[in-house]
Amino acid sequence: MRQTQNERLTRTDPGTPMGDLFRRYWLPALTLAELPDADPVRVPLLGEKLIAIRDSSGRAAILQEACPHRQASLYFGLCADGGIRCPYHGWKFDTDGNCLDIPGEPDGSTFHEQIRITAYPTVQRGGVIWVYMGPPDQQPEPPAFEWATLPVENLFVTRRIQDCNYLQTMEGGLDSSHLSWLHGGTILTDTVLGIGGPGTDSRILDIIATDRKPVYETLNTAGGLLLGARRNADETNYYWRITQFIAPCFNIIAPTGDLTLNAQAWVPLDDQRCWSWAVNYYVDKPLSAAERDAMRKGGGLHVEFVPGTHQGVANHDNDYLLD
């Protein structure tokens, strides 16, 4: 791939081709658990500095972080009485971006009616607050991924920052060949979430370890692109690992045995970093306490977090805790 092609695919600021494309979709912004009350939460997306808030009615909103008056951060603002008030001069905005009050203006002034900040539509589905950042007249139906329609008891959702652009890590999520090398001692042998878990065929571990040259086939479907990685199971049979890619940045991995389904998403934070989402879910039953505990501790697609951050305990700065 040429550098110009790479940049065309990985630059997602407003006005870029991929930035415009991403903004035509509902994107996961943050989990419901991250916004339990009115306190603002920073949610940078697609090169834009944004915050999430809840107004006094509990409605979630995603707004630009900078107050238009002096660019003070609304992250430090006070949420009350149907909006958020800037900490610098008290300008107040509602969840639709309208300016409701400018305390420094003379009584009777209507100047506030000329002021707006960027406010994006949100919906709450599958334990996630989703945002649409594109043209209002192009807004699609709310996200209908299977996991996004389930009760929160059936799923476990996390997001973390990855220090690479979305395309780099998305390629990894669609690549089955690295399982034979990178995950041999982790995901594959995880007894709760991995291929070595309950109800699975123990031969799969041997197949993946033995055949390290999967043959790929793809199939275009109405529900996205199916990627099949074929490995030799024995002299007459194959083992297929199927991953479904759904534009612009989602995948679903077929379950093994009695284990959960797995879904992922990679949403650009900016051109150098992305939000890496991991979802484990059952369609027809809640997750067990043991499964949730394992995921919280970094099982499967998830990581154990440094408290109060979106950074894994094992990370680049500490060589992922390798001895």
Find the domain containing 289 and state its range: 160-306
Quick one: 128 and 261 in the same domain?
no
What is the C-alpha to C-alpha distance for residues 256 and 263, in angstroms, rounded to an integer?
Answer: 13
- CATH code where residue 29 lies: 2.102.10.10
Contact residues for 101 (Cβ-Cβ < 8 A; gap 6+):
85, 90, 91, 92, 112
Question: Other C-beta atoms within 10 Å of 196: how many?
Answer: 18
Structural tokens at position 317: 């700065």
Quick one: 34 and 111 in the same domain?
yes
pLDDT at 258: 78
Whether 230 is in a domain gets the answer yes
Last residue of a domain, one of 110, 144, 178: 144
Quick one: 286 and 165 in the same domain?
yes
Question: Other C-beta atoms within 10 Å of 48: how many?
Answer: 20
pLDDT at 194: 60
Q: Does the pLDDT value for residue 205 go beyond 80?
A: no
pLDDT category of residue 188 using cuts at 50, 70 and 90 = low
Tell if the pTM clears 0.85, that is, is over it.
Answer: yes
Whether 37 is in a domain gets the answer yes
* Helix/strand/coil for 56: coil
> How far are the Cα atoms of 24, 62, 261 from residue 17, in angstroms, in the given order?
11, 23, 32
Quick one: 209 and 120 in the same domain?
no
pLDDT category of residue 75 using cuts at 50, 70 and 90 = very high
Quick one: 221 and 116 in the same domain?
no
Number of domains in the chain: 2
Whether 315 is in a domain gets the answer no
User: Which residue type, as a one-letter code, is found at position 300?
Assistant: G
Cis before 248? omega within 30: yes
Structural tokens at position 290: 């043991």
Pick from 145, 144, 99, 95: nearest CA to 120:
95
Q: Does the pLDDT value for residue 278 go beyond 90?
A: yes
Pick from 87, 79, 83: nearest CA to 116:
83
Quick one: 137 and 166 in the same domain?
no
Quick one: 95 and 120 in the same domain?
yes
Summarize the confidence of residues 137-155 as an average pLDDT: 96
Question: Other C-beta atoms within 10 Å of 194: how many?
Answer: 20
What is the C-alpha to C-alpha distance for residues 79 and 53, in angstroms, rounded to an integer?
Answer: 8
Quick one: 267 and 302 in the same domain?
yes
Q: Are 257 and 197 in contact (CB under 8 A)?
A: yes
Whether 155 is in a domain gets the answer no
CA quadruple 4, 10, 13, 14: dihedral positive or negative? positive
Beta bridge partners of 251: 245, 264
**What average pLDDT is seen over the chain?**
91
Share of the chain residues as helix, strand and coil, in percent rounded to the nearest 5? 20, 30, 45
Residues in the chain: 323
Whether 316 is in a domain gets the answer no
Contact residues for 262 (Cβ-Cβ < 8 A; gap 6+):
252, 253, 255, 278, 279, 280, 300, 301
Quick one: 90 and 199 in the same domain?
no
pLDDT category of residue 253 using cuts at 50, 70 and 90 = confident
Summarize the confidence of residues 83-90 as an average pLDDT: 95
Quick one: 259 and 291 in the same domain?
yes
Whether 149 is in a domain gets the answer no
Whether 151 is in a domain gets the answer no
169 membership: H or E segment, kind and range: helix 166-174
What is the C-alpha to C-alpha distance for residues 110 and 278, in angstroms, rounded to an integer?
Answer: 47
pLDDT category of residue 185 using cuts at 50, 70 and 90 = low
What is the C-alpha to C-alpha distance for residues 99 and 82, in angstroms, rounded to an integer?
Answer: 11
Summarize the confidence of residues 133-153 as an average pLDDT: 97
Q: Does the pLDDT value for residue 280 go beyond 70?
A: yes
Quick one: 180 and 281 in the same domain?
yes
Higher pLDDT, 31 or 196: 31
Q: Does the pLDDT value for residue 320 go beyond 90?
A: no
Structural tokens at position 170: 């998305």
What is the C-alpha to C-alpha distance for residues 249 and 80, in angstroms, rounded to an integer?
Answer: 35
What is the C-alpha to C-alpha distance for residues 205 and 210, in angstroms, rounded to an integer?
Answer: 9
Summarize the confidence of residues 188-206 as an average pLDDT: 65
Quick one: 80 and 37 in the same domain?
yes
Whether 262 is in a domain gets the answer yes
